[in-house]
Each structure stands twice: as structure tokens, then as C-alpha cells.
């Protein structure tokens, strides 16, 4: 087990940070908005450098970098909340596709092809696994009914991230033998995509499947009996990335706050010299150190087999990220004073992004419950 | 503020009749759309506020806490409290504080007769829309370090400088403002209280957007703005004590108990609708603990506010107790915002604007609208009117003598 980054990892971190700085500096200035690069261009650049899909296995067109690579990317992008779409357009769909690409099913070839293009930053897909009024329940109600050699999908999906430009949706559905995951072309007849903005400015979508017919052979990424495990694994990987992104956001928000407090003077001295504010910063720093530790620990276990211990580590990292992230981002805003509330300064974007992640992938309560269930399962085994 | 007349016999029977009277008025006068927007914490337009205020004025309820000769209702503190609480429970918006809660009481206490006659009726009727010019880019929590200067030139002051975080300033045509009139004096002693016509030559402003996108604040710039001396309230260099009294006033209302009561209503409605593990949240043991805590806090905040009103009637001032009200009122409101946001889970994801899209057709809970933005908006009150840390400092120094 090693927590500290290797020389290679430091190099990747620096490359990512330089690229983001360069692209943010080159982005067009709009009054009252922090500058951000165009997401498609950012994705393409990161793809060309082998960073975007660097975490994906080589058999799925990735760089084989695994959890540590995922950590570096998600954390680095979290430090600069520019709306990269990394989790929605790469991590969650990539996890579902990579598992299919490594399997023996009929969906292996199309999954490997799409996954390789996602890894290269050339294409995106979007996972559709959540349903109305079911919070974060992973078992689908949307039904896949057999129809000759194909299936017909009927039902609803909500909170689909990164819908625009996705060439396909990865859709969980209930079949007679259990949950499956299907590859559905974005232009499939009978599929209605209605997009809406989330509060952090990201685009989300609702999908309605009105008897969408699929030739099952190529479209079934994960068959009944495998789908539930594949969804669970993809959510686990996405939640790990959420914890890493949140960690990056916390690090950046606290650093920005302390920089500002060194500059800003009230009552004739820098805010940073007030003991009451120093104590709060020290508390936040210590909270972030705990989060950093659990995220680094989870990265280590995510690289190994998915034992109960490993799965519980990831649930713990995500739950602590949900809580610590909200705290740190709120405090960062407050400790700036009024300027912290402005869009222009940008520290508020960390709070919105952290909150949007937990609304999408699971909030602290849900993740704590997940953690306990895994621990109890481990104790019973 | 002048203490309103005491009415000793506001009995339970009279209170019930009064509440019925309020309910009837709101049912007749308040458009559904406005009620709904207010319930969801969405900000109302200038036109909506003016329309509602004029209906209240027509009923004699435009500023019931003012003296009767200026349009007040002559009610006891208890009746005033019931009025506010009932209006809020019925989903009625409060009129923006700057006119009736701030400049009104200031002029009543410190204005001369001409100022009262000129400004009070227009403030009551929202013919003028006032905003507050206190904070500056370099003077926030340390308000006394403000630098906007007013130099006497005959029967005018010439004002130069900048004011920032001016809430709703884009709607305003008048600003009450703190300016430095003596640069030699100790910080607090060289400040005067001026009323500035924002249509004067040399006044400009830029919008400042909140991080969730709304145009909430502004920065105003004053470039050789000429303000008649008659627009000064109180003596020259005596503005600080006026401002301080107003800040205490602001803090009394920043207990925000009516907002808390409204948010609790939303939380209860959602508790009956949102399902946790297949049953309404209202039956979930863990959520019940959350709901109980929030409901008890709202009760305690209401009683705490009533104590402040009682004290105001009996002693004519609230003192540092206002800081306790602000500190806890903000926290209680923030916890309610958070409880709503948490209960909604993924259904809190859509932005307020998403509710105008076709996707909204089957969003599950209408009460989910604006939940995230309302929570984000409320980061502000913890900083404005003296940050939570400033309140803690006042409590330690003036109440605990530390």
C-alpha cells in the first residue's frame, strides 16, 4: 500500500494542471463569469494525451491506469470546476462498457469499440440507470420484453448526465431473469430525450422509452444475472470518482480562501491573522486530511478484487466526501465574506458541483447506509 | 422606532377574529402565482412587490408597525406579531424591508418634519424604492472604515466613492447611505447619514450575480454626485449612531422567523409526498427526528422574537439581544433549507429554470422547485447585516462582558 504519488503520477498531475490553466486562460471572457474551456475541446485534448480514458483497461481502449489514474483526473478536474463532464461522459459509461468489453457476451465488440472512442475523447455515451421516485435504487423498473430475436424497452429514466452529444445511452432494464444493460442508439425510434439544466448549470435529461425496439444480440451489454453486478460496479467506480472530484474541490476551495484571507484586511489587519478564523481553517484542513486519507485508501482497494472491505472503503470515501465537501465549500464561501457569493469569484461553483454530484449519485445518508450494509454483509460472511 | 400603542385587550377571541380577517383578505387579494412563488422562496418582481404593497396600504396594513399618523395600524406588539405570522403562514410575501423596516423607522426616529412629510408616504406606497448603501469594497464587517466621502460645497454635499452588495439596488431610485464627512475624526465619528437620489447625475451601477446565477447584488459608483444638505438625516458626523440603531433593527427582523415558518410548511408538505424505503418520509423514524428538531427550533425562534418585541415595547430598545436573534435565526433557516434539500434527494437536481422546460412535465414534486437556489441564496444573510462572526463578537463583548 502506497499513499504518496509516484514521480509519474506527479507528472500526470502537473500536465493536467498546466493544460487546464492554459485552456482556462485561453477561454473567451464573459462579464461576470469565471472563464471555462469548451467541454468538447477539453475532452479531445485530454483524450489525445491519453488522460481522459487513461484509467480504463487496455482491452477497452484505455491506458490501464486504473484507480490511481482515475483519482488523479477526477481530483484535478475537481480543483477547476469547469464542467468537464468527466464523470457523466467518461467514468460511469466507461465502467459499464469496459466490463462488457472484458466479457464474453455478444455486446463485447460494440462495447469495446465505443469504449475505445470514449477513452480517446472522440465520443461520449450516457448511462441511464435512475428512475423517477426511486431515489438511488439500482434495480430497474423499466422493462425489456422479448420480441423475436430482439427486445422492446418501455419505461422512464431520470437524471441522465451528459445527454447532449451522447451517441448511445446505456440503459438498465428488467428482464425475466434479472437486470440487464442495453446499448441504445441516441436516435432509436420511440426514445424521447428531454433535457433540462441542473442547478450547477450541467445539462441532465429524462428519457422516455415508448416501445423502443432493439436487436438484442449486439445491444445487450450485460445480460440478466450480470446486469445488477455491472451497475453496482459502475456506480462504485463513479462514486469513487465523485469522492476524488470532491477532494479536489475541497483542496482548491480552502487554498483560495486562505489566499484571500492573507490579502483582505479588516479592522486594520489581514483576516488571516484573526484566531477565530485560523481555528476554522485548521478544522477544515484537518477534515480534508481525513477525506484525502480515505480516498487514497479506497484507491488502493479499488485496484484489487471487489471484496466487501474494498466496497465499504469506497462507500466510506463517497459518504465522507458528500459531507466534508458540503461543509468545506459552504465555509469557503462564508469565510470570503460577501465576495464569496459572487459568480465571478467562482468559489460557489465548488458548492454547486459537490451538491449536484450527491444529488445525482447518492447523498451522504444513502452512502452511509450502503457502507453499513456492506460491513454487516462482511461480518455475516 | 416609536413604540406602538399598547392595546391591553388583544384576547384569544379577538385574535381568532383577527386571523380570520387576515385569511379573508389574503384569499381575496393575493394572486395564486405570487403566493406560490413566495412559498417556494422564489424572488418576486418589482411590479409584484409594488402591487401587493399597494393592496396592503389600501387595507391600512402597509406598515402596521409605524405610528398611526403615518399610516400605521396602532396595534400592540402581540397583534403585530400575529399579523406577520398569519400573513406568512398564508403564503403572503412581506414587503421589502428597505422601505418599511429600515428607512421608515430611521426617519421616524431621526428625520426632521420636512423629511418625514417628503419621504414617508412615498416609502409606504412604494412610489420610491429604497436601498441601503453601507458596505464598500474595503469596508465589510469593518463598516466604520468606509471611505465614500461627502464634501460640503455650499448647500450641497459632493459625494465620491462606491457602495457594494446593494441588494435589489437595480429596482431602487433612492439610497440611504453612510458617507465620510470628516476624514480627521476617529473612524465612527466622521460619518453622516445621507439620502441620495439615484437618478442624480454621476450615479451609476453594475450588476453582481450570485453564484447560482441570479442578479441579487449591485455595486454603485458616485462620481461628483451633488446631494442637497437637506437630505442629511441627523447631525453632520452623527450618522454612525443612526446606522447602529438601524442595524439592531435589521437584526431583529433577521430572526427571520416568518421565513422559517414558511420553510417548515414546505418541509411538512414534502414529508407527506417523498417516499423513503417505500413509505412517506413523515413515517420514517430518522426523518421524524429531523422534522421534530426543525419544528422545535422554529417554535423557539418565534418565542425568542416575541421576547424581543416585548422588550422593545417596555424599554424602547432591543440591544445586543438582537445579535442572538440574528445568529440563531440564520442557523435555523439554513438547517430548514438543508432539510428540504436533503429530503428531496435527486429531485432537487433540476435548476429553477428547468421547471419551464418540457422535461418538467413529470418532475415528481412541485414543492421541489427552487430548493437548491433558495438554499444558496440564504448563504447571504449569514454575511449581510454584520456577519455571524460580528454577532458573536457583539454577544461576547456586550452581553457576556468578555
Residues B275 and B381 both lie in one domain = yes
Last residue of a domain, one of B68, B95, B122: B95
> Quick check: is B116 in a domain?
no
Last residue of a domain, one of B203, B238, B273: B238
> Quick check: is B108 in a domain?
no
> Quick check: is B152 in a domain?
yes
Residue B251: predicted pLDDT: 64
pLDDT in tens, B169-228: 999 999 999 999 998 888 789 999 999 999 999 999 999 999 999 999 999 999 999 999
- Structural domain containing residue B70: 12-95
Distance from CA of A191 to the nearest CA of B (A): 14
> Quick check: is B192 in a domain?
yes
Residue B184: predicted pLDDT: 84
Last residue of a domain, one of B95, B112, B141: B95
Residues B379 and B272 both lie in one domain = yes
Query: From CA A369, how far away is CA A24, in angstroms rounded?
Result: 39
Residue B89: predicted pLDDT: 87
- How far is C-alpha B209 from the chain's CA centre? 19
Distance from CA of A344 to the nearest CA of B (A): 7
> Quick check: is B174 in a domain?
yes
User: Which one of A141, A338, A340 makes the best mutation probe of the B interface by having the most chain B beta carbons within 10 Å?
Assistant: A338
Residues B283 and B384 both lie in one domain = yes
- % pLDDT > 70, chain B: 96
Q: Is the pLDDT of residue B8 over 60?
A: no
Residue B2: predicted pLDDT: 45
Distance from CA of A337 to the nearest CA of B (A): 6
- Mean model confidence pLDDT for chain B: 92
Residues B373 and B261 both lie in one domain = yes
Q: Is the pLDDT of residue B18 over 90?
A: yes
Residues of chain A found within 8 Å of residue B135, distances taken between Cβ atoms: 338
Residues of chain A found within 8 Å of residue B388, distances taken between Cβ atoms: 334
Cross-chain residue pair B213–A343, CB shorter than 8 Å: yes
If one counts the domains in chain B, the total is 3
> Quick check: is B117 in a domain?
no
Question: Which residues in chain A land under pLDDT 70?
Answer: none
Cross-chain residue pair B217–A206, CB shorter than 8 Å: no
Residues B264 and B394 both lie in one domain = yes
Mean pLDDT along residues B107-134: 97
Residues B213 and B276 both lie in one domain = no
Q: Is the pLDDT of residue B399 over 90?
A: yes
**Which domains does chain A show, CATH number per domain?**
7-119 (1.10.540.10), 125-226 (2.40.110.10), 228-380 (1.20.140.10)
Residue B333: predicted pLDDT: 97
The residue of chain A with its CA nearest to that of B360 is A196
Residue B250: predicted pLDDT: 66
Q: Is the pLDDT of residue B1 over 50?
A: no
Q: Is the pLDDT of residue B284 over 70?
A: yes
Query: From CA B358, how far away is CA A264, in angstroms rounded?
Result: 46
The residue of chain A with its CA nearest to that of B371 is A199
> Quick check: is B392 in a domain?
yes
The residue of chain A with its CA nearest to that of B365 is A133
Amino acid at each position: 500500500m502506497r499513499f504518496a504519488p509516484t514521480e509519474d503520477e506527479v507528472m500526470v498531475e502537473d500536465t493536467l494542471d498546466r493544460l487546464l490553466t492554459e485552456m482556462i486562460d485561453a477561454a473567451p471572457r464573459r462579464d461576470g463569469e469565471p472563464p471555462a474551456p469548451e467541454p468538447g475541446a477539453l475532452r479531445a485534448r485530454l483524450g489525445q494525451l491519453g488522460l481522459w480514458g487513461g484509467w480504463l483497461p487496455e482491452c477497452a481502449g484505455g491506458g490501464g491506469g486504473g484507480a490511481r489514474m482515475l483519482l488523479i483526473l477526477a481530483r484535478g478536474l475537481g480543483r477547476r470546476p469547469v464542467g468537464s463532464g468527466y464523470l457523466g461522459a467518461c467514468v460511469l459509461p466507461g465502467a459499464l462498457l469496459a466490463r462488457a468489453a472484458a466479457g464474453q457476451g455478444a455486446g463485447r465488440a460494440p462495447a469495446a469499440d465505443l469504449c475505445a472512442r470514449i477513452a480517446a475523447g472522440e465520443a461520449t455515451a450516457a448511462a441511464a440507470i435512475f428512475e423517477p421516485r426511486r431515489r438511488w435504487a439500482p434495480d430497474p423498473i423499466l422493462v425489456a420484453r422479448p420480441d423475436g430475436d430482439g427486445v422492446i424497452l418501455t419505461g422512464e429514466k431520470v437524471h441522465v448526465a451528459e445527454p447532449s452529444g451522447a451517441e448511445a445511452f446505456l440503459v438498465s432494464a428488467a428482464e425475466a431473469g434479472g437486470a440487464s444493460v442495453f446499448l441504445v442508439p441516441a436516435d432509436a425510434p420511440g426514445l424521447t430525450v428531454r433535457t433540462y439544466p441542473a442547478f450547477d448549470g450541467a445539462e441532465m435529461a429524462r428519457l422516455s422509452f415508448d416501445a423502443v425496439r432493439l436487436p438484442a444480440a449486439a445491444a445487450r451489454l450485460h445480460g440478466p444475472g450480470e446486469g445488477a453486478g455491472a451497475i453496482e460496479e459502475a456506480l462504485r467506480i463513479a462514486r469513487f470518482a465523485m469522492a476524488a472530484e470532491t477532494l479536489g474541490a475541497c483542496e482548491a476551495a480552502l487554498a483560495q480562501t486562505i489566499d484571500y484571507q492573507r490579502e483582505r484586511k479588516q479592522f486594520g489587519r489581514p483576516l488571516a491573522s484573526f484566531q477565530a478564523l485560523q481555528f476554522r481553517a485548521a478544522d477544515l484542513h484537518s477534515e480534508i486530511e481525513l477525506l484525502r486519507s480515505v480516498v487514497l485508501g479506497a484507491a488502493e482497494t479499488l485496484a484489487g478484487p471487489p471484496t466487501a472491505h474494498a466496497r465499504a472503503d469506497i462507500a466510506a470515501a463517497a459518504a465522507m466526501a458528500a459531507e466534508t465537501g458540503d461543509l468545506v465549500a459552504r465555509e469557503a464561501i462564508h469565510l470570503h465574506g460577501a465576495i464569496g457569493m459572487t459568480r465571478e469569484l467562482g468559489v460557489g461553483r465548488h458548492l454547486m458541483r459537490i451538491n449536484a454530484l450527491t444529488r445525482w449519485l447518492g447523498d451522504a445518508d444513502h452512502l452511509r447506509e450502503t457502507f453499513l450494509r456492506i460491513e454487516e454483509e462482511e461480518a455475516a460472511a | 422606532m416609536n413604540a406602538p400603542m399598547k392595546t391591553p385587550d388583544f384576547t384569544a377571541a379577538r385574535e381568532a377574529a383577527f386571523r380570520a380577517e387576515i385569511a379573508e383578505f389574503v384569499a381575496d387579494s393575493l394572486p395564486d402565482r405570487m403566493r406560490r412563488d413566495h412559498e417556494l422562496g422564489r424572488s418576486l418582481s418589482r411590479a409584484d412587490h409594488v402591487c401587493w404593497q399597494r393592496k396592503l396600504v389600501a387595507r391600512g396594513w402597509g406598515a402596521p408597525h409605524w405610528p398611526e399618523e403615518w399610516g400605521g395600524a396602532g396595534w400592540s406588539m402581540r397583534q403585530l406579531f400575529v399579523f406577520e405570522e398569519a400573513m406568512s403562514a398564508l403564503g403572503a410575501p412581506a414587503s421589502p424591508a428597505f422601505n418599511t423596516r429600515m428607512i421608515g423607522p430611521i426617519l421616524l426616529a431621526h428625520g426632521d418634519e420636512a423629511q418625514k412629510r417628503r419621504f414617508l408616504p412615498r416609502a409606504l406606497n412604494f412610489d420610491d424604492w429604497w436601498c441601503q448603501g453601507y458596505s464598500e469594497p474595503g469596508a465589510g464587517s469593518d463598516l466604520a472604515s468606509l471611505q465614500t466621502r461627502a464634501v460640503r460645497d455650499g448647500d450641497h454635499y459632493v459625494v465620491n466613492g462606491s457602495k457594494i452588495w446593494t441588494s435589489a439596488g437595480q429596482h431602487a431610485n433612492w439610497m440611504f447611505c453612510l458617507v465620510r464627512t470628516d476624514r480627521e475624526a476617529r473612524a465612527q465619528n466622521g460619518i453622516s447619514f445621507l439620502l441620495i437620489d439615484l437618478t442624480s447625475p454621476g450615479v451609476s451601477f453594475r450588476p453582481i450575480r450570485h453564484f447560482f446565477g441570479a442578479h441579487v447584488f449591485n455595486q454603485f459608483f458616485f462620481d461628483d454626485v451633488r446631494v442637497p444638505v437637506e437630505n442629511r438625516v441627523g447631525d453632520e458626523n452623527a450618522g454612525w449612531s443612526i446606522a447602529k440603531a438601524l442595524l439592531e433593527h435589521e437584526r431583529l427582523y433577521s430572526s427571520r422567523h416568518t421565513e422559517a415558518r414558511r420553510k417548515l410548511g414546505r418541509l411538512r408538505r414534502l414529508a407527506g409526498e417523498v417516499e423513503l424505503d417505500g413509505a412517506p418520509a413523515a413515517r420514517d423514524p430518522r426523518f421524524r427526528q429531523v422534522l421534530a428538531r426543525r419544528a422545535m427550533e422554529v417554535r423557539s425562534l418565534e418565542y425568542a422574537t416575541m421576547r424581543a418585541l416585548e422588550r422593545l415595547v417596555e424599554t424602547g430598545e432591543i440591544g445586543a439581544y438582537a445579535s442572538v436573534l440574528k445568529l440563531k435565526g440564520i442557523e435555523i433557516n439554513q438547517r430548514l433549507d438543508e432539510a428540504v434539500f436533503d429530503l428531496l434527494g435527486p429531485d432537487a437536481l433540476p435548476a429553477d429554470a428547468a421547471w419551464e422546460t418540457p422535461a418538467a412535465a413529470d418532475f415528481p414534486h412541485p414543492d421541489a422547485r427552487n430548493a437548491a437556489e433558495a438554499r444558496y441564496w440564504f448563504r447571504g444573510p449569514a454575511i449581510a447585516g454584520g456577519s455571524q462572526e460580528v454577532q458573536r463578537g457583539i454577544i461576547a463583548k456586550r452581553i457576556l462582558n468578555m
